[in-house]
Amino acid sequence: MNLVLLGPPGAGKGTQAERISKEFQIPHISTGDMFREAIKNRTALGAQAEKYMAAGELVPDEIVIGIVAERLTQPDTAGGFLLDGFPRTVPQAQALDKFLEENGRSLTAVVNIEVDPEILVARLSGRRVCATCGAVYHVATKPSKEPGICDLCRGELIHRTDDQEATIKNRLAVYHAQTAPLVQYYRESGLLLPVNGERAIDEVYQEIVRELRNRDR
């Protein structure tokens, strides 16, 4: 299964991706996580991406397209993949289509997680992520068993630097201007699978799996 997870910041892409990738045994490819890893390791890519991410702006298309194309040539993606946070602009979507076509592959579905903007701010300001394994928590709706410590690997839970109110607002504005047009793009190609993301994490997950199984039959 070759999947894309679409949705505004805080919709639950990362949360659902952790589970979907286990369910279908496909690698979870998050461009945001790749950039955060690069920043942590002080690579040249990290240095390029950092200023855009800190401001809540998108990293330029040519950089992102390059790293995703590179990632999708790795053998673990041959049996399927789950893209989280890519594509995020129409040129990125077109580049992905072209790349897949050239490699005799195509997308199975684009899951669009829909959530009202007011809910998104609350989700992002209360989010905590594991600095070691990337697992996602929320202080109110999904707390870890021990405060500040990851349930899965006992890593430290941190507050993402772009999860401050002013940056969140800009990320939402950038989403509406640059990423929302992809909803229509994928609707037209018949790949869009809209999901109501305002319900409990488990309910959202059950619906996604049910819909994907229907589509895969």
Q: Which amino acid is at 25?
A: Q
CA dihedral defined by 99, 101, 103, 104, rounded to 10 degrees? 160
3-state secondary structure 160-197: CCCCCHHHHHHHHHHHHHHHCHHHHHHHHCCCEEEEEC
Task: Write down the least CB distance from residue 104 to Mg ion, Å.
Answer: 29
**Degrees to nearest 5, angle at CA 128 with 201 and 199:** 15
Task: Write down the least CB distance from residue 130 to Mg ion, Å.
Answer: 13
Residues 175-204: x where in contact with Mg ion by CB under 5 A, - otherwise, as a string? ------------------------------
7 binds, among ligand AP5, Zn ion, Mg ion, none (CB under 5 to 8 A by kind): ligand AP5
| 14 lines the binding site for Mg ion (CB under 5 A) | yes
Asked whether the beta carbons of 144 and 151 are under 8 A apart, the reply is: yes
Q: Give CA–CA dist 93/185, Å, rounded.
A: 9
Chain residues binding ligand AP5 by CB under 6 A are: 7, 9-15, 31-32, 35, 52-53, 56-59, 64, 85-86, 88, 92, 123-124, 126-127, 136-138, 141-142, 171, 197, 200-201, 204
Could you tell me the two tokens for 78?
Answer: 């041959």
Task: Write down the least CB distance from residue 217 to ligand AP5, Å.
Answer: 26
28 binds, among Mg ion, Zn ion, ligand AP5, none (CB under 5 to 8 A by kind): none
136 binds, among Mg ion, Zn ion, ligand AP5, none (CB under 5 to 8 A by kind): ligand AP5
- What positions carry a catalytic annotation? 13, 88, 127, 160, 171
Please state, in angstroms and as integers, the Cα–Cα distance from residue 67 to each residue in 31, 103, 164, following that order: 8, 16, 27
Residue showing the smallest CB distance to ligand AP5 in the complex: 32
Chain residues binding Mg ion by CB under 5 A are 13-14
